[in-house]
Amino acid sequence: MENKKNVIIIMTDQQRADLRKGCGYELDTMPFLDEWAKGGVDFENAYTPNPTCMPARVSMMTGRYSECHQVRTNHNLQDALYTEDLLDVLKKNGYVTALCGKNHSHRSSEDFDFHECTGHLGNEGEVNTTPAECEFANFLNSTHHMEMHVPSPGGVEVQHPYRNVSSALQFIDSLDHEPFFAWVSFAEPHNPYQVPEPYFDMFPPEQLPPLHGTTENLEEKGDRYPWIRNVWEKVLGESVEERILRARSNYHGMLRLIDDQVKRLIEGLRERGLEENTIVIYVSDHGDFVGEYGLIRKGPDLPDVLTHIPMILKGPDIVHQGRRGSCFVSLVDILPTLCDMLGLETPLGCQGKSFLPLLKNSDIPEREFDTAYAESGFSGQYWNEHDGLTLPAENAVSPEWDRFDCLNTWTQCGQVRALWKGTYHIQVDMMGSGYLYNRKTDPFELHNLWEEPDMQGVKCELLTELAAAMLKAADILPVPHKRYRTKVHPKGYWYQEWSCEDMGVRKMKAIGSRGLERV
């Protein structure tokens, strides 16, 4: 039988791209990952297509942008629109599949051949049997998604990343030489910001590096930034700064805990003789403010701290390059890239592109990886304080105002689009409000260049690129009927000359939340 490559996607939830020493950060949060990445490709410019959990995860699985797969919030899983996703493609090609950890996608856990799920609060699929596991689950439930000021009980072995890796190794050991796909999906370092010893004060609050953006920068970021800061001040109270500092400390500690578990997984592959034949992808769904601008978690718009993600690939046929800059890649590119690496057909409707040439560092197509594009918003107008909807009425805050959902009607309304090219980042909303930043000279995006006279040429160029990206992201589904033919490059490229054979009219039929199916 053909020796098919195995695939593991290690996904963290809400991990910023820049908080690693290997990325220039002054603290050594993830030493194993930094060293491991030197033997693969560690993309400097990797982006999420939408900085929200479910839209981003559906994009990774389908290779489609949120406006087209239609899961634009964390509450639209039933609306997913696609032909085939990563799970479909691998299962029909003989792969045994596993979900170990957080799902939060359009697929049910039962769609995987093996699943052991975990979430954020101890009651989202976890099977807690030992006294220590039950105590930890109760602890998580008591956090209400807030930061914890004491070490988590039970030590490392009750933590979900540890259990996720144990599940993955258990799954691998159950196989009889079949090719496998494992989605090892950590629900951390997402809130609640909690971590056990010895990680709790591994990065003490008082020794953390100073923030770059503060509350003084909020006004220039747009109306939604001071609005969400005001909510946090009400929720966190007079100790808001102290609580954000503890959240930052716990976040750093969780990065190190995750790093140790990634090491355990990779060493487990090595011990089983599987490392050389396994494609491993390390990625996150989106970022976190981690204190910048006086904010935590996520929320408004498409800032770099929320959209810029880690993405590292290592395995067979991947040239050792370490950090790779200049080119841009996205979560939507993972499906077509894996199809290309495994010699499989990319599903119709996939909007990403194969970056296999970047992994091989050979025959890189011109212009294909010059930009990244992202979307946010569920449409409509912006809500504000003059409207008749309140945060308690929407259930975005608790009646006591001691907890807060930062993804709510106010932060997710409207439509926002963004593009990255070179050192620049441009963002525009449906009202024509714009932001332009030079990431090289202003990496934390504190100075908006939109109105600067000497930046109008750059702004014009990037607006043109953004318009082109939005048009490229227009959906080809459902495909036209009768005589029209849709020409789609098999690797998702746009700028390469090629001749397409007449494949006839592509006939599709809608089958609801399970996407589209070929007739």
| 3-class state of residue 100 by DSSP | strand
**What's the gap between Cα 49 and its chain centre?**
8
Instruction: Give the per-residue pLDDT at 481.
Output: 82
Query: What tokens appear for 470 in the block?
Result: 């939005």
Which amino acid, 328?
F
> DSSP code of 39?
T
Q: Would the pTM count as exceeding 0.85?
A: yes
Contact at 8 Å (CB) between 147 and 191? Answer: yes
Contact at 8 Å (CB) between 471 and 67? Answer: no
Query: What tokens appear for 434 in the block?
Result: 């714009």
Query: What tokens appear for 206 in the block?
Result: 């008082």
B/e letters for 172-181, b = 16+ CB within 10 Å, e = fewer, are beeeeeebbb
Instruction: Give the per-residue pLDDT at 1.
Output: 38
Residues 6+ away with beta carbon under 8 Å from 455? 436, 449
- Per residue in 70-79, pLDDT (tens digit) is 999 999 999 9
Reduced DSSP (H G I as helix, E B as strand, rest coil) percent helix, strand, coil of the chain, to 5:
35, 15, 50
Q: How many CB atoms lie within 10 A of CB 388?
A: 6
Q: How far apart are CA 383 and CA 381, in angstroms?
A: 6
**Residue that is written with structure tokens 């953004």 in the block:** 466
Which residue spans within 218-298 are E strands per DSSP?
A: 278-284
Query: What tokens appear for 1 in the block?
Result: 């039988």
Q: Phi and psi at residue 78, in whole multiples of 5°?
A: -70, -10
Q: Which of 63, 43, 518 is nearest to 333 (CA)?
A: 63
Q: How far apart are CA 371 and CA 136, in angstroms?
A: 43
Q: How far apart are CA 456 and CA 458, in angstroms?
A: 5
Instruction: Give the per-residue pLDDT at 385.
Output: 87
**Residue that is written with structure tokens 């239609």 in the block:** 70
Q: How many CB atoms lie within 10 A of CB 159?
A: 23
State the Rg of the chain over Cα.
22
Which amino acid, 304?
D
Query: What tokens appear for 384 in the block?
Result: 């504000």
Strands 516-518, 508-510: parallel, antiparallel or unpaired by DSSP? antiparallel
147, containing H or E segment: none
Instruction: Give the per-residue pLDDT at 517.
Output: 61
Contact at 8 Å (CB) between 438 and 449? Answer: yes
Q: What is the mean pLDDT of each run of 10 residues along the chain (519 residues)?
A: 86 98 97 98 98 98 97 94 96 98 96 97 91 97 96 98 98 96 98 98 97 92 96 97 98 98 98 97 98 97 98 97 96 98 96 98 97 98 94 95 96 98 98 98 97 98 98 92 90 96 75 53
Query: What tokens appear for 99 in the block?
Result: 């979900």
Q: How far apart are CA 226 and CA 477, in angstroms?
A: 39
| 3-class state of residue 111 by DSSP | helix
50, containing H or E segment: none
Instruction: Give the per-residue pLDDT at 104.
Output: 94
